A and B are shown apart, each in its own frame.
Chain A
Amino acid sequence: MRFSGLRVLREGLTGNRGWQAHWRDASPKAAYDVVIIGGGGHGLSTAYYLAREHGITNVAVLEKGYLGGGNVGRNTTIVRANYFLPGNSEFYSHSLKLWEGLEQELNYNVMHSQRGQIVLFHSDGQRDAAIRRGNAMRNQGDDAELLSIGQLKKVLPYLDYDQGRFPIYGGLLQRRAGTARHDAVAWGYARGASERGVDLIQNCEVTGIDIEGGVVKGVQTSRGAIRAKKVAIIVAGRSSQVAAMAGMRLPIESHVLQAFVTEGLKPCIDHVVSFGMGHFYISQSDKGGLVFGGDLDMYASYAARGNLPLVEHVMEAGMTLMPMIGQAKVLRSWGGIMDMSPDGSPIIDRSPVEGLYLNCGWCYGGFKAVPGSGHCMAHLVATDRPHTAAERLRLDRFRTGRGLMDEEGTGAQHNLH
């Protein structure tokens, strides 16, 4: 069924009885060409592009819980392409291009809103780093602009320019950055994949990966064994557990990242704003809630919930940066489990097992990567060759030291990125 304004009108006039399931619930078949472990944003987009770009439709997406129940539905919905190191730079650039036009591609309004992101800087050193970043973005073909204090005061009049602990020197603006409705991205890809014949199987937990002679043969699940020619592990948040089923130990530590939303408010923040001194980023959802977050809780965790020290630190950053939000009330907080890698950048690569592919290590970057990750992962699974936009996202870069993508410059301590 095609969605359109006309359709909404017609259904509205006839009692909305004609709407159909956005995707088909499937039961597992005995065998597939490709089994994707993980029905999150990345798994669903991989399935979609396998079908759409490569004509591979004999595909199952196995999801332990419900589709989109992981980090794609618990993030701060920011979409941007403002990385500066080779590898990240071309990958996120590629992903952003796929975001642009995703509604039309999927016939699903994911509300991708290119409202612009402004990263503030607070010292000469941070300004120089912002210039380096902005130039990398421009060299990559993406947009970036430097905003002076005067320009900032016009677009962000509510920042504390006079009393704040760390004075604001300026900002780096990416106009094409913005937000999207996170759940809708998962649902849109699910619908697109399902329409093309992919089996989406919920409540199906993978319990083992069958490998014979170094070649993957299929998976064991809570709903029986499934044979597969190729298996893709796309389970950020649980990557270590699933990879361990294939005997692998990954360069990943799992950490909880909290996020917050306030009660609905009339429009007051029109951009995504990031605080250069305090790990704080904020935007306002179309519904009116301020959506914001900060740093990791900073301890390994699978609990999808955090603690007060980080909560308060995020609020402190908000208060020093934009004290107008003081009277906004936090409505809900939640936590997502991040695959933290040693350089803060992701992995899309073959594994040492033939026919087994890895997609993990997304750290904070997972949501904006959803289209690019699925697109490149599908390419890798279908052709056995990395997509040019993702060829640097290699697993072996840590061992060799070649092509590390440590944007924060904090080194191989997983939680510091």
Chain B
Amino acid sequence: MRLPCPICGERDRREFYYAGHAVALERPQEGAGAEAWDYYVHNRDNPCGETRDLWFHESGCGAWIVVTRDTASHAVLGAVLAEEAAR
């Protein structure tokens, strides 16, 4: 498996750390209810098909990236820097 780091180009999966769905970008505000936090930390859409997830180019440039990917076919459809996706 290879992933397109927006900074380094296509790299082997070994260089990346995986952290789950990009829902992690949408951290609730302080004081949001228990349900909002439960959804943020635990619950997942977990699609069989296109998804967006977070990877860390740990053995590369150190960028966190959001990869658009298909969980059924493993096709990789694109990637952006998490920093940009988060803004």
A and B in contact, CB less than 8 Å: yes
With A254-B71, A301-B74, A302-B72: A249-B13 Cβ-Cβ less than 8 Å:
no
Known A-B contacts A309-B1, A398-B38, A399-B35; the reply to A300 vs B19 at CB < 8 A is: no
Chain A residue, CB-CB nearest to B13: A309
Cβ 8 A contact of A253, one of B12, B14, B46: B46
Task: Bits for B43-87, please: 1 = Cβ < 8 Å to A, else 0.
Answer: 111111001010000000000000001011110000000000000
B41 within 8 A of A: yes
Within 8 A of B (CB), among A97-120: none
Q: What is the interface size of chain A, counting residues whose CB is below 8 A from a CB of the partner?
A: 24
Q: Is the CB of A241 within 8 A of B44?
A: no
**Given A251-B44, A300-B51, A309 contacting B71 (CB threshold 8 A):** no
B14 touches A300 (CB 8 A): no
The residue on B at minimum CB distance from A299 is B18
Give A245-260 as 1s and 0s: 1 = Cβ < 8 Å from B's Cβ atoms.
0000111111000000
Q: Provide the residues of chain A in CB contact with B1, threshold 8 Å.
A: 299, 307, 309
**A249, A250, A300, A342: residue with the most chain B Cβ atoms closer than 10 Å:** A300
Q: How far is the CA of A152 from the CA of B46 in the complex (A)?
A: 43
A412 CA / B38 CA spacing, docked (Å): 10
A328 interface residue per 8 A CB criterion: no
Complex contacts, B28 vs chain A, CB 8 Å? none
Question: Quick check: is B32 within 8 A (CB to CB) of the other chain?
Answer: no
B3 — nearest CB in chain A belongs to which residue?
A: A299
Selected from A241, A249, A300, A301, the residue in CB contact (under 8 A) with B20 is: A300
Given contacts A300-B53, A309-B13, contact A240 B44 (CB under 8 A): yes
Q: Which residues from 376 to 417 on chain A have a C-beta closer than 8 Å to any C-beta of chain B? A: 398-399, 412-415
Determine the distance from Cα of A26 to Cα of B72 in the docked complex, in whole angstroms.
Answer: 30
Contact check, B48 vs A241: say whether CB atoms are below 8 A apart.
Answer: yes
On whether the beta carbons of B18 and A250 are closer than 8 Å, the reply is no
Are A414 and B18 within 8 A (Cβ)?
A: no
Judge whether B18 and A249 touch: CB under 8 Å: no
Q: Are B19 and A250 in contact (CB under 8 A)?
A: no
Kindly identify, within residues 274 to 310 of chain A, every residue whose CB is under 8 Å from any CB belonging to chain B.
298-303, 307, 309
Whether the Cβ atoms of B41 and A252 lie closer than 8 Å is no
Contact code string A298-341 (vs B, CB < 8 Å = 1, else 0): 11111100010100000000000000000000000000000000
List, in ascending order, chain A residues with CB within 8 A of B21's CB: 253, 300
A137 to B18, CA, bound (A): 33
Residues in A neighbouring B12, C-beta threshold 8 A: 309
The reply to whether A252 and B46 contact each other, CB–CB distance below 8 Å, is yes
Chain B residues near A309 (CB-CB < 8 A): 1, 12-14
Question: Quick one: CB contact mask for B1-14 with A, threshold 8 Å, 1 for yes?
Answer: 10000000000111
- Among B14, B41, B48, B53, max chain A CB count under 10 A is at B48
Contact A240 B46 (CB under 8 A): yes
A238–B38 touching, CB < 8 Å: no
A398 to B41, CA, bound (A): 9
Inter-chain CA distance A399–B44, complex, in Å, is: 14
* CB interface residues, A 169-206, toward B, < 8 Å: none
Give CA–CA (A240, B46) in the complex, Å: 6
- Nearest Cβ on chain A to B70's Cβ, whole angstroms: 9
A249 to B40, CA, bound (A): 12
Q: Which residues on the B side are within 8 Å of A412 (C-beta)?
A: 41-42
The verdict on A298 contacting B18 (CB below 8 Å), with A303-B73, A342-B41, A412-B41 known, is yes
Q: A249-B43, A342-B41 are known contacts. Are A302 and B71 too (CB-CB below 8 A)?
A: yes
Q: Is the CB of A251 within 8 A of B73?
A: no
B43 to chain A, nearest CB (A): 5
* Pick from A249, A251, A299: contact of B53, CB under 8 Å: A299
User: Across the interface, do B44 and A253 meet the contact criterion of CB distance under 8 Å?
Assistant: yes
- Hey, which chain B residues are within 8 Å of A342, CB to CB? 41-42
Q: How far is the CA of A342 from the CA of B42 in the complex (A)?
A: 6
CB <8 Å contact, B72 and A303: yes
B15, closest chain A residue (CB): A309
Q: Which residue of B lies closest to A239 (CB)?
A: B46
Asked if A413 meets B19 with Cβ closer than 8 Å, knowing A301-B71, A309-B14, the reply is yes
Looking at the complex, which one of B34, B51, B73 makes contact with A399 (CB distance below 8 Å)? B34
> Which residue of A is nearest B55, CB measured?
A299
Q: List 5 A-B contacts (CB under 8 A).
A: A253-B44, A253-B46, A299-B1, A300-B20, A412-B42
A residues contacting B by CB (< 8 A) are 238, 240-241, 249-254, 298-303, 307, 309, 342, 398-399, 412-415
Q: Nearest 8 A-B pairs (CB), nearest first? A: A240-B46, A251-B42, A398-B42, A302-B48, A307-B1, A399-B38, A342-B42, A298-B18
